[in-house]
Structure 1
Amino acid sequence: MKFDASTNLSGPLPDYLLPCFNAYKHEILKTLHSPSVASSQTESPSINDIAAKQLTDLVDGTVLRAEGNSCLLLGPRGSGKSQMIDACIEKVAFKRPIVLRLSGWVQTTDRHALREIAFQLLQQTGTALLPDTEMHAEAEIDEENPFLEVADHLSGESNLTLPPSHLHALIPILLTLSRPVIVVLDAFDLFALHPRQSLLYCLLDTVQNCRASSENRGIAVVGITSRVDSVQLLEKRVKSRFSGRTIRTAPPGSLQESLAMAKIIMQPSGVCEGDTHKEEWKQWWNEGVQKFLEDNEVATILNETFGLSRDFKIMIRMLTRCVTQLTPNQPNLSLKAVIASAEIQRSRPRRKHLDNLPYPALCLLIASAHADTGGHKSFTFEMLYETYKDQVRALVSAPVQFNGGSIGMMRCPREVLISTFEDLVAVKIFTCTMASPSIIAKQFIKYRCAVDRHDIKGIVEKAGSTNLKKWLNKSQ
Structure 2
Amino acid sequence: MGKRKNKDSSSSLGECIAKVHMTLRARFCHHLPGKPFGVEAQYKNLMDLLKQTAVHGESNSVLIVGPRGVGKTMLLKSVLHELKEVKQVEENLLQVHLNGLLQTDDKVALKEITRQLQLENVVGDKVFGSFAENLAFLLEALKKGNRSSSRPVLFILDEFDLFAHHKNQTLLYNLLDIAQAPQTPVAVVGLTCRLDVLELLEKRVKSRFSHRQIHLLNAFNFGLYMEVFQQQLSLPEEFPDKRFAQEWNQNIESLCKDQTVVDILRKHFNFSKDFRSLNMLLMFALSRVTVSKPRIQSMDLLAASRLHTMDSKANILHGLSVMELYLIIAMKHLNSIYEGQPFNFEMVYNEFQKFIQGKSNSMHYFEKPVVLKAFEHLHHLELIKPMEGTSVRTQKEYQLVKLQLDSSQIMDALHKYPQCPTDVHLWASSSLE
Same fold (TM over 0.5): yes
* Compared CA separation, residues 460 and 73, structure 1 to 2 (3 A): closer
TM-fit CA distance, 1:77: 1.3
Match of residue 65 from structure 2: 74
TM-fit CA distance, 1:464: 3.4
* 1:346-388 C-alpha deviation (Å, 9 max, x unpaired): 2434655645655543432232121011124421111122223
2:396 is matched by which residue type in structure 1? Answer: K
Gaps of 5+ in 1: 1-12, 139-161, 211-215, 401-406
Match of residue 196 from structure 1: 168
TM-fit CA distance, 1:448: 2.3
Contact 1:252–1:310 (CA under 8 A) maintained in structure 2: no
* Structure number with bigger Rg: 1
Runs of 4 or more, structure 1, over 6 Å off, are: none
* 1:101-137 C-alpha deviation (Å, 9 max, x unpaired): 222222222222222222322x1x6751x585xx25x
Match of residue 99 from structure 1: 95
* Compared CA separation, residues 246 and 475, structure 1 to 2 (3 A): closer
* Compared CA separation, residues 236 and 434, structure 1 to 2 (3 A): closer
Match of residue 402 from structure 2: 448
Q: Of 113, 117, 123, which residue of structure 1 is paired with 2:113? A: 117
> TM-score scaled by structure 1?
0.76
Match of residue 5 from structure 1: none
Is 1:463 aligned with 2:395?
no
Moved more, 328-337 or 462-471: 462-471
Match of residue 345 from structure 2: 381
Cα distance in 1 for residues equivalent to 2:152 and 2:428: 74
Contact 2:235–2:245 (CA under 8 A) maintained in structure 1: no
Contact 1:251–1:312 (CA under 8 A) maintained in structure 2: no
* Compared CA separation, residues 421 and 206, structure 1 to 2 (3 A): closer
Contact 1:183–1:220 (CA under 8 A) maintained in structure 2: yes
* 1:308-341 C-alpha deviation (Å, 9 max, x unpaired): 1111111111112212331121111122321232
Q: Of 252, 261, 264, which residue of structure 2 is paired with 1:301? A: 264
Q: Of 237, 244, 266, which residue of structure 1 is paired with 2:211? A: 244
Matching of residues 1-400 of structure 1 within 5 Å: 15-34=11-30, 37-40=33-36, 46-47=38-39, 49-90=40-81, 91-92=83-84, 93-121=89-117, 123=118, 127-128=121-122, 135=126, 163-167=130-134, 169-170=136-137, 173=140, 176-177=143-144, 178-210=150-182, 216=183, 218-251=185-218, 253-273=220-240, 278=242, 280-349=243-312, 351=314, 354-355=317-318, 357-374=320-337, 375-391=339-355, 394=358
* Compared CA separation, residues 33 and 96, structure 1 to 2 (3 A): farther
Q: Per the alignment, in what secondary structure is the counterpart of residue 165 of structure 2? A: coil
Percentage of matched positions with identical amino acids? 27
Match of residue 10 from structure 1: none
Moved more, 191-200 or 431-440: 431-440
1:182 is matched by which residue type in structure 2? Answer: L
* Compared CA separation, residues 467 and 171, structure 1 to 2 (3 A): closer
Contact 2:50–2:187 (CA under 8 A) maintained in structure 1: yes
User: What root-mean-square deviation, in Å, do the aligned CA atoms of Structure 1 and Structure 2 show?
Assistant: 3.2
- Which gives a bigger RCO, structure 1 or 2 (Cα 8 Å, sep 6+)? 1
1:82 is matched by which residue type in structure 2? Answer: T
Contact 1:171–1:202 (CA under 8 A) maintained in structure 2: no
* Compared CA separation, residues 349 and 423, structure 1 to 2 (3 A): closer
Cα distance in 2 for residues equivalent to 1:106 and 1:356: 35
Cα distance in 1 for residues equivalent to 2:358 and 2:388: 33
Gaps of 5+ in 2: 1-8, 145-149
Aligned length: 412
Q: Per the alignment, in what secondary structure is the counterpart of residue 295 of structure 2? A: coil
Cα distance in 1 for residues equivalent to 2:366 and 2:374: 11
